Amino acid sequence: MHFGKHPYKPRLHLNECIVQTLESVHDLGINYTGSLNFEEHASSIISKSRRLIGFIMKNFFTTKGKLTLYKICVRPTLEYCSFVFSNMNIADKIRVEDVQRRFARQLLGCNSNLDYTDRCKHLSLEPLWHRRLKHNLIFLYKAIYGLSFLTSCPTITHDPAYRLRNNAYTLLTVKHQKQMRCKFFTVRYSLLWNRLPMPIRNCDTFTRFKKLITLFLDSKELQHYLELPPTDEALYYGPPSI
């Protein structure tokens, strides 16, 4: 497999046999191609989730039962390996979010006048992009402090050489010229990490970090943190980078 925008199919031989060039690979539950935009992965999880939702809506009758089964069976499929969404196209992220949007509308009925955000609040659901943001920041914290494995974990600065305001406990970031590299999880979420308030970045325990990051992302400061316009519509699809 060749990684990059331009197609490249070399003729490789091993023991006088031609090595097959693959267009896509399915590995550890992830479908990916050489472009690393995960469009095929998005289509796969959307198709699987829609089939499961169809089965749930057809065979179960109570709202509580349907909602519980969605959280147990469907949502984990839509959220699996959430850090690959950093490389996913905006259109594919919207298609994934549309699965939950459509389910919430079916569950409350077509006569409901609530928009997607209010439907999620009514059903005690979070938008998928909001959950991805929270889970990825939690995963990054675990990687920084050795609680989880990440091949290229950013370096945290506990005591910076230049004592600028709010500059401690930030991650070192490197500028990249390639657009594909700029979309990588460590690059995007290092920038998001550096914008977190100081009391969250310097948490000494994992439990306290989870509590503070959850409260922060549920507060009114979220739109300012994500640099979104101060409108309800801005939280509809979430920021493109999430």
Domain ranges of the chain: 13-125, 137-237
Alpha carbon distance 81, 83 (integer Å): 6
Q: Supply the mean pLDDT for the chain.
A: 84
Grade residue 157 by pLDDT with cuts at 50, 70 and 90.
Answer: confident
Q: In this structure, what DSSP letter does residue 220 have?
A: T
Residue 52, exposed/middle/buried by CB under 10 A (0-12, 13-18, 19+)?
Answer: middle
Residue 164 has pLDDT above 60, yes or no: no
The tens digit of pLDDT for each residue in 110-123 reads 667 888 888 998 99
Span 28-80, pLDDT tens digits: 888 877 777 788 889 999 999 999 999 999 999 999 999 999 999 999 999 99
Q: Encoding tokens for residue 230?
A: 């101060």
Residue (of 212, 210, 217, 170) closest to 190 by Cα position: 170
Interval 79-98: pLDDT, tens: 998 888 888 888 999 999 99
Residue 163 has pLDDT above 60, yes or no: no
Specify the amino acid at residue 58. K
pLDDT at 180 over 80: no
What's the average model confidence in pLDDT over 177-193?
Answer: 80
Q: Which residue has the higher pLDDT, 58 or 158?
A: 58
Per the CB < 8 A criterion, the answer to whether 240 and 90 are in contact is: yes
Cα 21 to Cα 5, 12, 34, 35, 239: the distances in Å are: 16, 9, 11, 14, 36
Q: How confident is the model at residue 6 (pLDDT cuts 50, 70, 90)?
A: low
Q: Do 105 and 123 meet the contact criterion of CB atoms below 8 Å apart?
A: no
Residue-level pLDDT at 8: 67
pLDDT at 16 over 90: no
Has residue 131 got a pLDDT over 90?
Answer: yes
CA 53, 87, 153, 1 dihedral sign is positive
State the DSSP code for 74.
Answer: I
More confident residue, 109 or 6: 109
- What pLDDT band is residue 26 in, cutting at 50, 70 and 90? confident
pTM given for the model: 0.83
Percentage of the chain beyond pLDDT 70 is 86
133 forms beta bridges with: none
Q: Report the pLDDT averaged over residues 159-170.
A: 64
Q: Do 64 and 93 form a contact (C-beta atoms < 8 A)?
A: no
Q: Is the pLDDT of residue 2 over 90?
A: no
Is 82:136 a contact under the CB 8 Å cutoff?
A: yes
Cα dihedral 231/237/241/242 (nearest 10)? 110
Average pLDDT over residues 213-224: 89
Asked if residue 136 has pLDDT above 70, the reply is: yes
